[in-house]
Amino acid sequence: MKRLGYHRTTASFCLFLALPVALFVTFYIYPIISTLCLSLYDWDGISPKGTFIGLRNYFTLFGQARFYHALLNNLQWLFFLIFIPTALGLALAAMLDRGMRGESFFRVVFFLPFTIPAVAVAAIWRWMYEPTHGLVTSFLEVIGLASWAQNWLGDPKIVNYALMGAMLWWTTGFAFLVFFAGLRNLPIECIEAARLEGANAWQIFWRVSFPLLWPSTIVVLGMASIDAMRLFDIVWATTSGGPAYASEVLATQMYDVAFGRLEMGRASAISVCLFVISGAFIMPYIRYLSNQVQENAS
């Protein structure tokens, strides 16, 4: 009877897991394997069949300066997203955690940009960065800093920094929200104890609050790493990777090579490289989360 009950329970689990597993295999595992296979072919995406060429797509890719340039851009984005929006989000959360007036209003203001779709953000900043009459240039002129105005999206040397500025505005809200929630959930006794022992505001933050915020920090850093490697929408919608590849990242290069140049095999090779590189950065985060889940379960 017990064995029958066990089989029924197992059967129930299998039945309900069947659909999510099927979806996971169909929309996640199968495309990865399919892309890996496609990267070994020369195919334009239009003809019914491609030609098997082995690893030639990879050899071509590793010989192209364009590939390394895009990779370098991704790494710059990784550095930027890990430190800058994270630090700014933490600073804003710490500021608001003091219980200042208008806290609800500022919470909305800081988080609101994050709710805007990427293409709308790109359209807004494309307008703001117009080098002659855009809002950024006009503002600098009004405050007497006209000499600081730049060709924001048209100068290959600064276009990435301009895009990072847009990204900072857009994504800081997420870090702010996570840190704010984290700060509000800190055990008040630790902070009271530190205060009683004579710690000042900075010491309390740096030695008590910040270490206790580790779970929030790891979430923000993990998401930042993922965002940096999968970056596509804001770059494509603003500059399409230009001018002349200056702002290109691996995802936009993959899109351009696949659909702009009809080289699906080479684009798949870029995709595989991106997958491997992203895995190297993101796997530690995934492992940490898995360990946390296991620890909590035990």
Partner 1 sequence: MGLRVKIKSIWEESFMKSAALRWLGATLGLFVSTNVALADRSPEVWHYFAAGSELAAINGLMEYSNKIHADTPVIGRAIPGNVVELRRQLQTAFLGGNPPAVYQSAMGYELKTFVDGGRLRPIDDVWAAAKGEEIFPKGVQRVVKVGGKLWGIPVDISIINNIFYNKAIFEKYGIEPPRDWAQLVAACKKLRDNGIEPLGDASGPFWSLYNFYAPLLASAGKDGYYAIAQGKVSFKGPEFRKALETYRDTLVVNYAKNWSGKTWTQTADDVINGHTGMFMMGVWVSAYFKEHGWQPGKDFDFFPAPGTDNSVLIQMDVFAEPAGPDKTVATARNFMTAAASVEGQVAFNVPKGALAPNLKVDPSIYDYTGQRTLQQLKNAETSDSVLPNLFFLLPTKLGTELGVQIEKFAIDPSAGTEESVMETLEALRLELAEQNAFVKW
Question: Which residue among 239, 253, 268, 278 contacts partner 1 (CB under 8 A)?
Answer: 239
Find the binding residues for partner 1 in span 152-171 (CB under 8 A): 152-156
CA distances from 58 to 98, 259, 269, 273 (A): 54, 18, 6, 9
Tell whether residue 45 is a contact of partner 1 (CB under 8 A): yes
Burial class (CB in 10 A: 0-12, 13-18, 19+), 233: middle
Give the position of tokens 């495309």. Answer: 31
Tell whether residue 245 is a contact of partner 1 (CB under 8 A): yes
Stretch that binds partner 1, among 1-9, 90-98, 139-147, 183-191 (CB under 8 A): 1-9
Residue 225 and residue 81 in contact, taking contact as beta carbons nearer than 8 Å: yes
CA 240 to chain centre: 18
Dist CA 170 CA 174 (whole Å): 9
Euclidean distance between the first and final Cα of the chain, in Å? 29
Q: Of 4 and 196, which has the nearer Cβ to partner 1? A: 4
Tell whether residue 215 is a contact of partner 1 (CB under 8 A): no
Tell whether residue 51 is a contact of partner 1 (CB under 8 A): no
Q: At what angle do helices 264-297 and 30-38 cross, to 10 degrees?
A: 150
Question: Which residue among 196, 244, 276, 297 contacts partner 1 (CB under 8 A)?
Answer: 244
**Side chain identity at residue 212, one-letter code:** L
Find the binding residues for partner 1 in span 100-139 (CB under 8 A): 126, 129-133
Question: Which residue among 262, 277, 282, 289 contacts partner 1 (CB under 8 A)?
Answer: 262
**Side chain identity at residue 4, one-letter code:** L
User: 204 CB contacts (<8 Å, ≥6 apart)?
Assistant: 191, 194, 195
Tell whether residue 31 is a contact of partner 1 (CB under 8 A): no
For the bound state, the minimum distance from the C-beta of residue 191 to partner 1, rounded and expressed in Å, comes to 48
DSSP 54: T
Q: What is the largest CA-CA distance in the chain?
A: 85
Q: Of 58 and 281, which has the nearer Cβ to partner 1? A: 58
Question: Which residue among 6, 68, 259, 288 contacts partner 1 (CB under 8 A)?
Answer: 259
Question: Which residue among 113, 140, 242, 285 contacts partner 1 (CB under 8 A)?
Answer: 242
Question: Which residue among 10, 34, 47, 290 contacts partner 1 (CB under 8 A)?
Answer: 47
Question: Which residue among 31, 117, 187, 260 contacts partner 1 (CB under 8 A)?
Answer: 260
Supply 45's token pair: 């995406």
Residues engaged in binding partner 1 (CB under 8 A): 4-5, 8, 11-12, 15, 19, 44-48, 126, 129-133, 151-156, 239-240, 242-245, 256, 258-263
